[in-house]
C-alpha cells in the first residue's frame, strides 16, 4: 500500500481535473446520443463517479477529510437514485413495452 | 512504482467509459461499466482513500451493477430492439460534449493551478479518520441519509408494484 500511494506523488492536480472533465463529458455525450433509457441512466452514473473522483482528489489536495465524507453521502444518494430510477424504468416498460426514450416524447399516457 | 501508473489507469478509465456509451448491446454496456468502476476503485486506492475504495467496490460494483443487470434481463431487451439516433443527432451530441470539455479545460487553464498532488497525512482516508469526522461533524446529515434510504426503498417498492386496479 505504501509504494502504491507513492504513485500519485507528483501527478499534477490539473491532470486529475482533466480526467474528471473527460469522463463527465463522456457521460454527457452518452445521455445525448443514446435512446435506451437504461444506457442513459448508466451515463448519469458515469458523471456521478467523475465528480466523486474529483471531490476525493481535492480532499487529498487540501488535506481535509470532509470531501471524502461528502463522497460517501453521494454514494448513498446514488444507491437510492438507482433504485428509484430503475423502478421508474420498469414501470415505463410496462406501459409502452420498450425503454426507448423516443417513444416517450408525448405526455399523453 | 512511478507516475505512469496513474496515466495507465486513467487511460483505462477513459477507454472503458467510451466503450460503455458506444457499445450496441446494453448488457455489454453494463459489463464495461463494471470495469470502469473498478478503475475508479484503483484511483481511490492510489489516492490512499481506502474507505472510499472499499465502499465503491461494494456499493457500485456489487449492489448497483446487480440492480442494472437484473432490470436489463428482466426487461428482455435484445440487441437492435431499440434503434439508434440518426447520425446527425449523434454528431451534434459528440460536438456538444467536446464543447463542454473545451470550456472546462479552458477555465482550468485560466486558474493556473498545476501544483503536484501530495499526500500530506498518510491516514487521511482510513476508516478510523473518516469515522471520527462522519460521527461528529456530519452526524445530522448521516441520520437524514438513513431516512432518504428508507423513503427510497418504500418508493421503489411502490413504483415497481403492479397496479391492483388495472391488474
Residues 6+ apart with CB under 8 A from A57: A13, A16, A17, A20, B47, B117
Residue linked to cell 498545476 = B114
- Mean of the per-residue pLDDT values of chain B: 85
- The nearest CA of chain B is from the CA of A106 a distance in Å of 18
| Pairwise pLDDT comparison (B104 vs A95), residue with the higher score | B104
**How much is the pLDDT for A26?**
94
Would the CB atoms of B60 and A30 count as touching at under 8 Å?
no
- CA dist list (Å): A77 to A86, A89, B94: 14, 18, 28
**How much is the pLDDT for A56?**
92
Would the CB atoms of B20 and A43 count as touching at under 8 Å?
yes
**How much is the pLDDT for B114?**
66
Number of Cβ within 10 Å of residue A32's Cβ equals: 19
Would the CB atoms of A69 and B10 count as touching at under 8 Å?
no
Burial B82-95 (b: 16+ CB within 10 A, else e): beebeeeebeebee
Task: Identify which of B55, B105, B137 has the shortest CB distance to residue A21.
Answer: B105
Local confidence band at B167 (pLDDT 50, 70, 90 cut-offs): very low
- Mean of the per-residue pLDDT values of chain A: 85
At the top level of CATH, which class does the domain B1-78 belong to? mainly alpha
**How much is the pLDDT for A28?**
94
Helices A13-33 and B4-22, interaxial angle, to 10°?
10
Q: Which of A36, A87, A92, A52 is nearest to B24 (CA)?
A: A36
Q: Is the pLDDT of residue A9 over 70?
A: no
Q: What is the mean pLDDT of residues B44-49?
A: 87
Q: What is the mean pLDDT of residues B98-117?
A: 83
Would the CB atoms of A9 and B20 count as touching at under 8 Å?
no
- Best of B53, B98, B116, B121 to substitute, by most chain A Cβ atoms within 10 angstroms, is B116
**How much is the pLDDT for A50?**
94
Residues constituting chain B: 167
Number of Cβ within 10 Å of residue A1's Cβ equals: 9
Cβ-Cβ contacts under 8 Å, B51 against chain A = 68, 72
Would the CB atoms of A23 and B118 count as touching at under 8 Å?
no
Q: Is the pLDDT of residue B48 over 50?
A: yes
Q: What is the DSSP string of A57-109?
A: HHHHHHT-THHHHHHHHHHHHHHHHHHHHHHHHHHHHHHHSS-BTTGGGSTT-
- B122 close to A35: Cβ distance less than 8 angstroms: no
**Low-confidence winner among A12-21, A69-78, B122-131 (lowest mean pLDDT):** B122-131
- Reported as a single tens digit per residue, the pLDDT across B82-101 is 767 788 888 999 999 999 99
The reported pTM is 0.88
- Interface ipTM: 0.88
Residue B116 three-state SS: strand
In chain B, the residue whose alpha carbon lies closest to the alpha carbon of A74 is B145
Q: Is the pLDDT of residue B53 over 70?
A: yes
- The nearest CA of chain A is from the CA of B20 a distance in Å of 8
- Best of B156, B157, B166, B167 to substitute, by most chain A Cβ atoms within 10 angstroms, is B156
- The nearest CA of chain A is from the CA of B86 a distance in Å of 9
| Pairwise pLDDT comparison (A25 vs B78), residue with the higher score | A25
Q: What is the mean pLDDT of residues B126-155?
A: 90
**Low-confidence winner among A43-47, A63-67, B1-5, B19-23 (lowest mean pLDDT):** B1-5
Task: Identify which of A10, A45, A73 has the shortest CB distance to residue B33.
Answer: A45
Amino acid at each position: 500500500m505504501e509504494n502504491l500511494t507513492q504513485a500519485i506523488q507528483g501527478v499534477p492536480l490539473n491532470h486529475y481535473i482533466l480526467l474528471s472533465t473527460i469522463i463527465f463529458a463522456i457521460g454527457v455525450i452518452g445521455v445525448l446520443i443514446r435512446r435506451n433509457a437504461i444506457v442513459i441512466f448508466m451515463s448519469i452514473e458515469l458523471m456521478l463517479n467523475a465528480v466523486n473522483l474529483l471531490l476525493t482528489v481535492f480532499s487529498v489536495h487540501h488535506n481535509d477529510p470532509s470531501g471524502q465524507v461528502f463522497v460517501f453521502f453521494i454514494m448513498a444518494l446514488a444507491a437510492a437514485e438507482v433504485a428509484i430510477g430503475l423502478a421508474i424504468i420498469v414501470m415505463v416498460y410496462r406501459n409502452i413495452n420498450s425503454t426507448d426514450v423516443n417513444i416517450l416524447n408525448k405526455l399523453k399516457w | 512504482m512511478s507516475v505512469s501508473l496513474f496515466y495507465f489507469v486513467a487511460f483505462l478509465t477513459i477507454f472503458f467509459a467510451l466503450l460503455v456509451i458506444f457499445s450496441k448491446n446494453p448488457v455489454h454496456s453494463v459489463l464495461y461499466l463494471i470495469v470502469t468502476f473498478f478503475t475508479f476503485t484503483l484511483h481511490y486506492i492510489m489516492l490512499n482513500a481506502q474507505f472510499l475504495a472499499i465502499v465503491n467496490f461494494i456499493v457500485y460494483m456489487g449492489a448497483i451493477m446487480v440492480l442494472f443487470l437484473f432490470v436489463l434481463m428482466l426487461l428482455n431487451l435484445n440487441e437492435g430492439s431499440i434503434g439508434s439516433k440518426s447520425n446527425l443527432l449523434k454528431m451534434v451530441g459528440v460536438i456538444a460534449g467536446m464543447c463542454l470539455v473545451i470550456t472546462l479545460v479552458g477555465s482550468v487553464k485560466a486558474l493556473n493551478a498545476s501544483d503536484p498532488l501530495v499526500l500530506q497525512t498518510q491516514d487521511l482516508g482510513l476508516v478510523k479518520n473518516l469515522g471520527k469526522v462522519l460521527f461528529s461533524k456530519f452526524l445530522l446529515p448521516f441520520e437524514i441519509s438513513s431516512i432518504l434510504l428508507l423513503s427510497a426503498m418504500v418508493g421503489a417498492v411502490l413504483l415497481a408494484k403492479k397496479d391492483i386496479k388495472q391488474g
